[in-house]
Amino acid sequence: MSAMGEGILVPETFLPLPGDTVNQPYVSVSCIPAGFLHLPDREVFDDALEQPESTGRQVPSFAFLIDHSEYGKLLFDLGLRKHGQGYPPTLRETLEIFVVHCPRDVVDLLQEGGVSPSEIRAVIYSHLHFDHVGDLTPFISAQLILGSEAAQVMKKTYPKNPDSVFAELPPGQKVRYVSFAEEEEPPTVDQGSYMAAVYQAQINPAFPIPSREMPSSTVISPLGSFTQALDLFNDGSFYLLDAPGHFPGHLAALARVAPNRFVLLAADCCHNRICYDPGDRLVSRENYHNVDDARDTVLRLKRMNQEDNVVVILAHETERLHEMPLFPRTLNQWADEEASRKALRNIADRQLSV
């Protein structure tokens, strides 16, 4: 890292993102606004710490449906619980501050778009805050994927720990904690369940045909401006990014959606576009597990956003509601076109600066 005024650090190098391979697979990405909440400015901007909690704005809580042609459907985050119900009691005061509005949750919206929760192969939690975890119980076929540092948080959950703000997982839930330390081992496969699903699909046309089992994953270091990433399917189509600061094990994701085109699902790297584009306001120290790491992550996000072929979407980026298509439409074509528009804007900006 190198200095850039007032001791702020910026990434020294940027390695170009991996190019498309022969027969490169892409994933389709759909954005699902799974509820809304009031986000106080003091939780977003460091220069707003003295503002009352009532000063802020209503923001969406995005979930993303990821569809891989071989490995099936995944969800990146689940958004809010329906009507804000079912959270641990310790969260009651927090929920009153954040004013949850969620008449239809991610399950309702998926089903309206023709997707059954049983089709979801994996749910990736960017982190464990209440506005991202939703209700996991309907996703009976899904493995849960979390950053490895979240494992410690899950050791003391509600109701065994009545004071915890984190709920225990559904009974029998399969969990994979991803690490960026070394190459990931292939996830455990329940062959009996898989073959039973194949049989059901053969005898019942309405039953979804199971996708191929998830492959091993490969650690990539670095990836663009981020120091560590995981090539989830080991084919360059979808990466998990180590994005520390906001919460232990916080993850972002980079989806390859078209030739030389990427969508960066930045989760809670920051909570407002202005923090990364143009990056004029620092993230609030009130809303980050490690604010120094968080600000470093935002600078890496800002650097990634400078790339013509990368489109960034935050979990609560209100502007995107009116800019991009929403589920059941995919955002692949929009992202391709947005990247082209961005490239033209960058050319014009560079010409003006000469």
pLDDT of residue 200: 52
In-domain check, residue 274: yes
* End-to-end CA, the chain: 27
In-domain check, residue 112: yes
Of 81, 6, 76, the C-alpha closest to 36 is 81
pLDDT above 80 (res 192): no
In-domain check, residue 5: no
Better-scored residue on pLDDT, 11 or 35: 35
Distances (CA, A) of 258 to 21, 106, 215, 231, 252: 12, 26, 22, 17, 19
Q: Which amino acid is at 245?
A: G
317 beta partners: none
In-domain check, residue 76: yes
pLDDT tens for residues 311-327? 999 999 999 999 999 99
Q: Which amino acid is at 144?
A: L
Structural domain count of the chain = 1
Look up the CATH number of the domain holding residue 107: 3.60.15.10
Q: Which two tokens stand for residue 309?
A: 């072929």
Q: Which two tokens stand for residue 330?
A: 């995919």
pLDDT category at 15 given cuts 50, 70, 90 is: confident
pLDDT above 80 (res 100): yes
Distant-in-sequence, close-in-space partners of 354: CB < 8 Å, separation ≥ 6? none
Bridge-based pairing state of the strands 2-3 and 9-10:
antiparallel
In-domain check, residue 301: yes
Answer whether 99's CB lies under 8 Å from 238's CB. no
pLDDT category at 343 given cuts 50, 70, 90 is: confident
Cis peptide before 40 (omega within 30 of 0): no
pLDDT of residue 346: 79
Of 294, 286, 292, 287, the C-alpha closest to 269 is 294
Name the CA dihedral angle for 154, 269, 327, 336, rounded to a multiple of 10 degrees: -140
Better-scored residue on pLDDT, 194 or 349: 349
In-domain check, residue 15: no
d(CA 256, CA 229): 14
pLDDT of residue 92: 96
Residue 306, classed as helix, strand or coil, is: coil
In-domain check, residue 17: no
Mean pLDDT across 50-77: 97
Distances (CA, A) of 122 to 206, 271, 283: 21, 25, 31
Can you give the three-state secondary structure of 65-103, one letter per residue? Answer: EEEECCCEEEEECCECCHHHCCCCHHHHHHHHHHCCECC
Answer whether 336's CB lies under 8 Å from 28's CB. no
Q: Which two tokens stand for residue 74?
A: 């995944």
Domain extent for 38: 27-353
Distant-in-sequence, close-in-space partners of 172: CB < 8 Å, separation ≥ 6? none
pLDDT above 60 (res 186): no
In-domain check, residue 292: yes
Round the CA-based radius of gyration of the chain to a whole number and report it: 20
Of 187, 179, 186, the C-alpha closest to 148 is 179
- H or E segment and range at residue 39: strand 27-40
pLDDT of residue 11: 58
Q: What percent of the chain shows pLDDT beyond 70?
A: 87
